[in-house]
């Protein structure tokens, strides 16, 4: 990968945003392909791209208010550049004069010198008309919260009186949360190391392995990270191992396991005694699971395979199953704002079908008396409590187990536990713990 210099920051941000917004590539894949000579330029580049994803609906509407005519399809990179310029003026700490001049210069980097006056004029017009333009955008939920209308319409019926808070929280920057490897070090001792290097933190009250940092830092600067004393993982995701809580020596399946955070937590919690199959369809993501296992000195059998295919012929084989199904990821928009651009309304019904198939297959693979934890990082009713309610109606040998009282208090549903984005500093997650009757 060739390292770029700072003169490419805005032009590269425009190119990357075009790949995400108009070609459907994920932000993580796009951002992984770009690096600058100066780490601060890389940070700025990523902040601009992700910020533009976060506020794309609003900024796109703003460009249409400011432009006399739309850009041609071959000039969508200029539209993305203009959106990047508006993002800097409205949401970043970049001084206005620098944001404008650097964005104009980026036109030349894109080999479109003819657009320099246009970009300059539009950005300066925005600064002059900022207040009335923003007031108009605030009149519509889609542009006020920068969320696609289809997603707002799916959220509204099930969270009456909470929709604005959900959308607001989903637009916040998520904190960096750590999972302490209690097999190697206590949380208190780990926090002593944080104190010694001056990293601010909070011990999370809901999960005894969780520490929330006051600000994000490079992972290798965290004391003990390279030695496997901790991993980066949202607090809500850390609930999975606690809820399933398999006994030492049991045979466990982690279906759809990548990147392996929950796999590792299950093993850490059981002192690395589980016979654990970790399955994921993507070989590259399976390689990440293996990397995590090696750093943490844990052992799992990793299978690069379709989970449905893997579970066929494994009737009553597992004592416990973690079924973290493919989902809309609408609960983690604050970490992955490109979800707003990539997900479509028609995706949801397809995902629900896949989830149903995985549930049925996993249930067959579970031993009588065993436990299955159904999990999503979604806040959508169809993928969560409605999915479990339907499964229980069609399954005779299932009991929905009661969750800890702390989780019941924050849950937004009576069927399992629905956590909303930002609740107790967590991502949006859903859990339902099922037991197979003997």
Binding site per annotation, positions for S-adenosyl-L-methionine: 256-262, 280, 324
Query: Do residues 331 and 378 touch, judged by C-beta distance below 8 A?
Result: yes
Provide the CB-side half-sphere exposure for 271 (13 A, CA). 3
User: Residues annotated as binding site?
Assistant: 256-262, 280, 324
Looking at the DSSP bridge assignments, the partners of residue 255 are 323
The closest of 347, 276, 256 to 318, measured between CA atoms, is 276
Spell out a b/e string for 62-89, using b for 16 or more CB atoms within 10 Å of the CB, else e: bbeebeeeebeeeebbbbbbbbbbbbbb
Alpha-carbon distance values, 408 to 109, 222, 403 (Å) = 54, 33, 7
Q: How far apart, in whole angstroms, are the C-alpha atoms of residue 238 and residue 431? A: 12
Q: How far apart, in whole angstroms, are the C-alpha atoms of residue 36 and residue 435? A: 51
Looking at residue 368, the DSSP 8-state letter turns out to be: E
Q: Is 377 a catalytic residue?
A: yes
1 Cβ contact partners less than 8 Å away, ≥ 6 residues apart: 33, 34, 35
Catalytic hit among 52, 286, 377, 417: 377
Looking at the DSSP bridge assignments, the partners of residue 178 are 211, 232
H/E segment holding residue 151: helix 149-155
- Counting Cβ atoms within 10 Å, is residue 106 exposed (0-12), middle (13-18) or buried (19+)? buried
How would DSSP label each residue in 185-227? --HHHHHHHHHHTT--EEE-SS-TTEEEESS---GGGSTTTTT
The closest of 164, 211, 155, 149 to 331, measured between CA atoms, is 155
What is the distance, to the nearest Å, from the Cα of residue 244 to the centroid of all Cα atoms in its chain? Answer: 22
Cα dihedral 45, 152, 324, 283 sign: negative
Q: Which residues are catalytic?
A: 377
């Amino acid at each position: 990968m060739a390292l770029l210099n700072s003169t490419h920051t805005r032009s590269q941000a425009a190119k990357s945003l075009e790949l995400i917004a108009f070609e459907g590539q994920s932000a993580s894949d796009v951002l992984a392909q770009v690096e600058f000579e100066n780490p601060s330029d890389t940070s700025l580049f990523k902040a601009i791209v992700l910020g533009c994803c976060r506020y794309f609906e609003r900024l796109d509407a703003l460009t249409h208010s400011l432009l006399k005519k739309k850009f041609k399809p071959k000039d969508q990179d200029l539209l993305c550049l203009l959106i990047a310029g508006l993002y800097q003026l409205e949401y970043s700490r970049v001084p206005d004069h620098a944001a404008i001049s650097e964005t104009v210069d980026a036109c030349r980097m894109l080999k479109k010198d003819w657009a320099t006056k246009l970009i300059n004029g539009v950005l300066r017009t925005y600064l002059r008309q900022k207040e009335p333009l923003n007031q108009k955008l605030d009149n519509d939920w889609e542009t006020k919260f920068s969320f696609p209308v289809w997603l707002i319409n799916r959220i509204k019926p099930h969270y009456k009186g909470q929709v604005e808070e959900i959308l607001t929280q989903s637009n916040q920057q998520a904190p960096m949360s750590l999972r302490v490897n209690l097999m190697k070090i206590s949380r208190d001792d780990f926090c002593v190391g944080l104190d010694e290097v001056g990293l601010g933190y909070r011990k999370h009250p809901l999960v005894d392995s969780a520490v929330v940092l006051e600000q994000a830092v490079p992972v290798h600067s965290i004391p003990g990270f390279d030695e496997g004393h901790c991993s980066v993982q949202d607090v809500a995701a850390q609930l999975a191992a606690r809820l399933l809580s398999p006994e030492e020596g049991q045979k466990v399946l982690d279906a759809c396991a990548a990147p392996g955070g929950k796999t590792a937590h299950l093993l850490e919690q059981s002192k690395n005694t589980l016979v654990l199959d970790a399955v994921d369809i993507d070989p590259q993501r399976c390689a990440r699971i293996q990397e995590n296992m090696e750093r943490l000195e844990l052992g799992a059998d990793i299978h690069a395979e379709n989970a449905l295919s893997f579970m066929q012929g494994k009737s009553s084989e597992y004592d416990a199953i973690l079924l973290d199904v493919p989902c809309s990821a609408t609960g983690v928009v604050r970490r992955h704002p490109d979800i707003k651009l990539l997900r479509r309304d028609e995706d949801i019904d397809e995902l629900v079908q896949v989830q149903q198939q995985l549930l049925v297959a996993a249930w067959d693979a579970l031993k009588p008396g065993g436990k299955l934890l159904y999990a999503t990082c979604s806040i959508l009713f169809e993928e969560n409590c409605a999915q479990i309610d339907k499964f229980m109606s069609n399954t005779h040998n299932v009991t929905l187990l009661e969750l800890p009282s702390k989780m019941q208090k924050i849950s937004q549903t009576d069927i399992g536990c629905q956590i909303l984005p930002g609740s107790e500093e967590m991502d949006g997650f859903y859990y339902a713990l099922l037991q197979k009757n003997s």
